[in-house]
Amino acid sequence: MNAWNFPERIAPYTGVRIYVEFDEGTGKHTGDDAADVKYDLVGCPSGHATFWIAINFRDFLARVPEFAVKMGDVPIPIGGGVSLGWRHDGETVYILAGVYPKMQLLTNVV
Protein backbone atom coordinates (compact mmCIF):
# COMPACT_ATOMS: atom_id res chain seq x y z
CA MET A 1 0.00 0.00 0.00
CA ASN A 2 1.29 3.43 -0.85
CA ALA A 3 -0.99 5.23 1.60
CA TRP A 4 -2.93 4.13 4.68
CA ASN A 5 -3.48 7.03 7.01
CA PHE A 6 -6.21 6.04 9.46
CA PRO A 7 -5.84 8.03 12.69
CA GLU A 8 -5.39 6.28 16.01
CA ARG A 9 -8.48 7.98 17.45
CA ILE A 10 -11.57 9.67 16.01
CA ALA A 11 -13.36 11.91 18.48
CA PRO A 12 -17.14 11.51 18.87
CA TYR A 13 -19.28 13.78 16.67
CA THR A 14 -16.37 14.42 14.32
CA GLY A 15 -15.18 13.06 11.01
CA VAL A 16 -11.84 12.48 9.36
CA ARG A 17 -10.71 12.29 5.76
CA ILE A 18 -8.65 9.17 5.08
CA TYR A 19 -6.61 8.46 1.97
CA VAL A 20 -5.89 4.90 0.84
CA GLU A 21 -3.73 4.06 -2.17
CA PHE A 22 -2.73 0.63 -3.40
CA ASP A 23 0.70 -0.11 -4.81
CA GLU A 24 -0.30 -1.48 -8.21
CA GLY A 25 1.47 -1.82 -11.52
CA THR A 26 3.74 -4.10 -13.51
CA GLY A 27 5.30 -6.77 -11.34
CA LYS A 28 3.06 -6.03 -8.36
CA HIS A 29 0.83 -8.62 -6.71
CA THR A 30 -2.68 -7.41 -5.85
CA GLY A 31 -3.17 -10.26 -3.41
CA ASP A 32 -0.86 -8.68 -0.82
CA ASP A 33 -2.67 -5.32 -0.77
CA ALA A 34 -4.63 -5.43 2.45
CA ALA A 35 -4.86 -3.70 5.82
CA ASP A 36 -7.26 -3.22 8.67
CA VAL A 37 -7.94 -0.87 11.57
CA LYS A 38 -9.98 -1.34 14.74
CA TYR A 39 -11.68 1.37 16.76
CA ASP A 40 -13.03 1.03 20.28
CA LEU A 41 -16.32 2.87 20.74
CA VAL A 42 -16.05 4.11 24.32
CA GLY A 43 -19.02 5.03 26.47
CA CYS A 44 -21.06 1.94 25.62
CA PRO A 45 -22.83 0.16 28.49
CA SER A 46 -20.29 -2.67 28.35
CA GLY A 47 -17.45 -0.13 28.54
CA HIS A 48 -16.55 -0.34 24.88
CA ALA A 49 -17.38 -2.01 21.61
CA THR A 50 -15.12 -2.58 18.62
CA PHE A 51 -15.75 -1.39 15.08
CA TRP A 52 -13.38 -3.01 12.58
CA ILE A 53 -12.61 -1.78 9.05
CA ALA A 54 -10.74 -4.07 6.66
CA ILE A 55 -9.69 -3.28 3.11
CA ASN A 56 -8.09 -5.30 0.37
CA PHE A 57 -7.67 -4.98 -3.37
CA ARG A 58 -11.18 -6.33 -3.94
CA ASP A 59 -13.33 -4.96 -1.15
CA PHE A 60 -13.80 -2.59 1.75
CA LEU A 61 -15.47 -4.25 4.75
CA ALA A 62 -16.87 -3.22 8.10
CA ARG A 63 -17.13 -5.82 10.82
CA VAL A 64 -19.12 -5.41 14.02
CA PRO A 65 -17.94 -8.17 16.35
CA GLU A 66 -19.67 -6.87 19.50
CA PHE A 67 -22.84 -5.06 18.44
CA ALA A 68 -25.47 -5.01 15.72
CA VAL A 69 -26.05 -2.16 13.25
CA LYS A 70 -28.40 -1.46 10.40
CA MET A 71 -27.47 -0.35 6.92
CA GLY A 72 -30.69 1.15 5.65
CA ASP A 73 -33.34 -1.47 6.41
CA VAL A 74 -30.82 -4.32 6.40
CA PRO A 75 -29.77 -5.53 9.87
CA ILE A 76 -26.16 -6.59 10.35
CA PRO A 77 -26.07 -8.97 13.34
CA ILE A 78 -23.52 -9.10 16.10
CA GLY A 79 -20.39 -10.65 14.69
CA GLY A 80 -21.47 -9.82 11.15
CA GLY A 81 -19.88 -7.78 8.45
CA VAL A 82 -20.91 -5.76 5.46
CA SER A 83 -19.22 -4.81 2.24
CA LEU A 84 -18.91 -1.03 2.17
CA GLY A 85 -18.30 -0.83 -1.56
CA TRP A 86 -15.48 0.89 -3.35
CA ARG A 87 -15.11 3.58 -5.99
CA HIS A 88 -11.93 3.54 -8.03
CA ASP A 89 -10.40 7.03 -7.97
CA GLY A 90 -13.43 8.35 -6.12
CA GLU A 91 -14.57 9.42 -2.71
CA THR A 92 -16.74 7.33 -0.48
CA VAL A 93 -18.38 8.44 2.74
CA TYR A 94 -19.09 6.19 5.71
CA ILE A 95 -20.84 7.35 8.87
CA LEU A 96 -21.47 5.29 11.99
CA ALA A 97 -24.36 7.10 13.70
CA GLY A 98 -26.75 6.58 16.56
CA VAL A 99 -26.65 5.57 20.17
CA TYR A 100 -25.26 2.18 21.13
CA PRO A 101 -26.66 -0.44 20.67
CA LYS A 102 -29.03 0.99 18.01
CA MET A 103 -26.62 2.26 15.39
CA GLN A 104 -26.82 2.90 11.63
CA LEU A 105 -24.05 2.63 9.08
CA LEU A 106 -24.58 5.24 6.36
CA THR A 107 -22.76 5.50 3.01
CA ASN A 108 -22.92 7.27 -0.33
CA VAL A 109 -22.02 4.04 -2.17
CA VAL A 110 -25.04 2.36 -3.71
Secondary structure string (H, E, C) spanning 1-18: CCEECCCCCCCCCCCCCC
Q: Do the strands 102-107 and 69-71 form a parallel or antiparallel pair, or are they unpaired?
A: parallel
79, 65 in Cβ contact below 8 A?
yes
| Neighbour tally for 90: CB within 10 Å | 8
Categorize the per-residue pLDDT at 66 as very low, low, confident or very high, splitting at 50, 70 and 90.
Answer: confident
What is the structure's pLDDT at 15? 85
CA atoms within a 13 Å half-sphere pointing along the CA-CB vector of 23: 12
Mean pLDDT across the stretch 37-64? 76
Q: Chain-wide mean pLDDT for the chain?
A: 76
Categorize the per-residue pLDDT at 43 as very low, low, confident or very high, splitting at 50, 70 and 90.
Answer: confident
Mean pLDDT across the stretch 45-50? 69
pLDDT single digits (tens) 20-35: 777 666 766 666 677 8
Cβ-count burial of 29 within 10 angstroms (0-12 exposed, 13-18 middle, 19+ buried)? exposed
SS3 31: helix
Beta bridge partners of 36: 54
Share of the chain above pLDDT 70, in %: 75
What is the structure's pLDDT at 77? 81
Tell me how far apart the 2 most distant CA atoms of the chain are, in Å.
50
pTM strictly above 0.85: no
SS3 30: helix
